[in-house]
Amino acid sequence: MLAARDRLAGVANRTPVLTSRTLDAMTGAHVFFKCENFQRVGAFKFRGAFNAVASLDDAAAVRGVVAHSSGNHAAAVSLAARIRGIAATIVLPRDAARAKIASVERCGGRIVYSEPTVASREEIAARIVEETGAVFIHPSNDARVIAGQGTAALELVEEIRELDAIVTPVSGGGLLGGTALAAHGIDARIRVFGAEPSGADDAMRSLAAGRIVKPENPQTICDGLRSHLGASTFPILREHVTKIITVPDEETTRSMRLVWEVLKVLVEPSSAIALAAVLASPDEFRGARVGVIFSGGNVDLDQLPWG
């Protein structure tokens, strides 16, 4: 992870940490918001994508890269590839948010559309890799990506001392796994929590079952949280994560609006769920110093959930 931090130095943004007396009073905790919505491409995904792309040797890089994503990873890989000077082909679901499609286009990625299922995205990405020889950059199940994502928590823990807990969204587990490794590499006492939609609760069910449980038909407003854990992330979560907190979309929407109105920053539903998890679990966090990682801020302003 320290190598990832070195690669990202001067390329990724060191994002700010915000606080709010109002939100402290509402949660009963002392909350520190790590704002990855201010990261390049508007999401933490740039960290992992750039670390993975920058790690490629020249012989592999020249063949280009392929990624599949609901949006943020897609833009991140596109930008990382542009910085490296190589081609990026991105598989996006047909129902991807327009803001995220536009972000991929701005970053220079070539878009290939899939059906709105993880299986369809994976199938098309695999076919492109086979046909072109390009390198596949998985959105979470990749050690280089996990290490890159973990640098956000590394910055948070180094800046804000004596944290009791950290909460991040969870989908494929790259951010949560990287966060857990970074936090426990500095202070093993920090409790690490994942926040997951009630309608896409496969991470919670996976940890309960002791094996990876894939989602069958995830239903959530959190378009970035519809994937599933992988062979690289699942063991990390089993060893290091205290608990997965599931949150109904209604509570996530309320928290998203609360962040906009109180903190005056734009976050997407997949980000706001982390605060929603803290608000939904007062007994877990009362009186604690809690880091919350806002994962991104890419919102389709024509499709606001309270419009």
Active site residues per annotation: 45, 70
| Helix (H) or strand (E) run with residue 201 in it | none
Token pair listed for 188: 């093993």
Nearest to 279 by CA among 305, 304, 248: 248
Nearest to 182 by CA among 38, 48, 287, 67: 48
Q: How far apart are CA 235 and CA 239, in angstroms?
A: 6
Strand duo 65-68 + 88-93: pairing: parallel
Question: Nearest 5 degrees, angle CA 257-CA 197-CA 221?
Answer: 55
In sign, the C-alpha dihedral spanning 276, 209, 136, 59 is: positive
Per the CB < 8 A criterion, the answer to whether 200 and 252 are in contact is no
Q: What are phi and psi of 67, to 5 degrees?
A: -145, 155
Q: How far apart are CA 191 and CA 197, in angstroms?
A: 20
